[in-house]
Structure 1
C-alpha cells in the first residue's frame, strides 16, 4: 500500500511525466525504506493500545462538540471589545493515561478545548497554555482525559483531586 501511495505522490510531484520513473525507481523505494525505519522507532508508544470500536461514536460526538465549542469561543473572543484575557500556563497531572498513543491523543484533543493548547509533555503531566484560568479549567482537562481513557478502554479514576493542577508562572 505504501508503495502505491509513494508512487502516486511521485507522479503528483512530477506532473505525471513517465520519464521521471528513471529517477523514481531509486527514490520511491528509498522513501518507503526510510518511512518504515522511522515509524518503527516512533511507533513503540502505540503498541499495546487499541481503540475500543464501541467507544468511537461517543468520542466522535465529544470531539465534534469540543471543536464547535472551541471555535465558538474563539469567534466570541475575536469579536468582543473586552476579551478579558489572563493567559497562564497550567501544569495538569495525568491520572489515567499511560505514555504513548493515549497521551498523544489527549494532548491533541486538549488543543480543541476553548482557549487552551497543550505545550509540552512532562514526565508527570502536561503543560497547558490557557487564555483564562476558570473554575472549570481543571474539570474540562479531566473530562478530556476520561474520554481518551474510555476510548482506549483504560481504567477510570474515582474522582478528581483539586491538587492535581497548578499554575506555572
Structure 2
C-alpha cells in the first residue's frame, strides 16, 4: 500500500460502519476495519484514536456550528428562537448523502450500552454549551437551561425521525415538525 491513500478517512468510516452492521461493534477490530478499507491500522490511527471515534468524530464541528448560529441569532430573539436557529444549523451536517451512515450509526449506538452512554454525554455537553451561550446573550436561569434542554429534546426527536427507515423528509423539516408538536402539546 502506498504511503498516502486518497480519501482514507471516508474509506475507514465506510469500512467500519459496514463491519459494525455485519458482525457487530464489539467484534469489529481496528485491524479488520483497516483491512476492509485497504489501508493499514497505523493509518487508521492517524484519523481516529479508536474505533468509537469513527462514530463520534464529527461532534466538535457540529457543536461549533450550532453555537455560532445561536450567537448570530438576532439580539431580540427569545432563547427558544435562538435555540431554533442552532437546531436548524445542524441540518448542514445531516444531508441525504449522510443519511445511510447516520442510520447505521444510530443502530450501532442503540445496540451498545457504552456507545449509548457516550451519545448521552455528547448531548449533555451540547446542552450545557447552549445554555452557557444563552446566558451570554442575557438569558437568565433557569430559562437558559430549560431552553437548552428543550432544544436537545427537539434535536434528538428530529434526528431519530430523520434516520428512520424509509424517511425522506430533510432534517430541518423534522425540526419544524417537532417544534410544532411541542407547541401543540403546550397548547393542550
What TM-score does the superposition give when structure 1 sets the normalisation length?
0.30
What TM-score does the superposition give when structure 2 sets the normalisation length?
0.27
Structure with greater strand percent: 1
Considering only CA atoms, is the larger Rg found in Structure 1 or Structure 2?
Answer: 1
Higher RCO, 1 vs 2 (CA within 8 Å, ≥6 residues apart): 1
